[in-house]
Amino acid sequence: MAAQASIAVGSQVWVEDPDEAWIDGEVLKVNGDTITVKCSNEKTVTAKASHVHAKDPEESPCGVDDMTKLAYLHEPGVLQNLKSRYDMNEIYTYTGSILIAVNPFRRLPHLYDIQMMEQYKGADFGELSPHPFAVADVAYRLMLNEGISQSILVSGESGAGKTESTKMIMRYLAYMGGKAATEGRTVEKQVLQSNPVLEAFGNAKTVRNNNSSRFGKFVEIQFDQKGRISGAAVRTYLLERSRVCQISESERNYHCFYMICAGSPEEREKYKLGDPSTFHYLNQSNCYKIDGLDESKEYLETRKAMDIIGISSEEQEAIFRIVAAILHLGNVEFAEGDDVDSSKPKNEKSMFHLRTAAELFMYVLCIASF
């Protein structure tokens, strides 16, 4: 990183802009700590020197794949480089050993297929275009060569793409550490299939993201001395439990609630479920569907994933009974009871949902004012 150049009349600079964050321009006048800039949008701006940064007049319109190559590694320089690459559909950029991902908000399957994994297998870091597979490969090689555990931290704001990036890294590690194609439940298959289960019960639609993780997770993948996956563990924390009872407009509750409402007619009858709009925990928002998402298909995929990771049919049944019972509990309203400080179900509708919840929880319900 080069030192910040002195700013003089005629210098190319970036200046803070309330609408565009930063805008480029040419310095017209320098008066002590105040700088006047003629911007590219034809506006003339006067700003403090601390709000003006030098611009590299020779910067490439295509940006650079590693931002340590930038002449000026400051905020406007970084943002412009990321924008230049994003405009070329390059969503990944390095800063040294750090990989920055910009969410494309669309599927890019060609970036993550088997052929792409083969390309990054054993390639030197930085030899190929920036990619999560490169980060995963470096960690995998260091673990094998040095015999030391490695960690990959995936961080970012909501909607940045943490969930998808984590899945890509896990896919690559499962690819590298998997055994030859065999039948049955291999450990690497179980590792990958833990994702749809975690997403069903821990992810929800927010205003920024259709599949936002509302919890944190630490995924530990264990390898033997030959680099083969031998085990795994997933630890979750900070689950946003308040979302179950209260959601905001344009958001949804956890995916599992909508999935079970989209189950087969037999299952909906068994759990006494209907349209999501009939449940209080789901109808606080007018958002019930996600474009391009088939809830009934996702429900079946989640069931299949639960089979693969070793959750028995009996355990699955118990889990979805609880999910359905929670929806019914949300529809129970209470009124004042006959005694002081007592209450009772408000009407027959509330009584129905209370009885159904009790049946699903396998409780014997004794109705009285309480």
Instruction: Please list the residues that pair with 237 across neighbouring strands.
Output: 216
Ligand-binding annotation for 297, yes or no, is no
* Whether 253 contacts 202, CB under 8 Å: no
Ligand-binding annotation for 93, yes or no, is no
* Whether 167 contacts 199, CB under 8 Å: no
Ligand-binding annotation for 217, yes or no, is no
Ligand-binding annotation for 157, yes or no, is yes
Rg (CA), the chain: 27
111 in helix, strand or coil?
A: helix
Phi first, then psi: what are they for 212, rounded to 5°? Answer: -90, 130
On the 0-12 / 13-18 / 19+ scale of CB atoms within 10 A, 194 is buried
Helix pair angle (162-177, 187-202), 10° resolution? 170
Tokens of 45: 């701006």
Cα-based distances in Å from 4 to 14, 39, 48: 12, 20, 16
Ligand-binding annotation for 161, yes or no, is yes
Cα-based distances in Å from 36 to 7, 21, 145: 11, 17, 56
Ligand-binding annotation for 159, yes or no, is yes
Residues 6+ apart with CB under 8 A from 6: none
Ligand-binding annotation for 274, yes or no, is no
Phi first, then psi: what are they for 188, rounded to 5°? Answer: -65, -35
* Whether 254 contacts 203, CB under 8 Å: yes
* Whether 332 contacts 352, CB under 8 Å: no
Which residues contribute to the annotated binding site? Answer: 156-163
Which residues contribute to the annotated binding site for ATP? Answer: 156-163
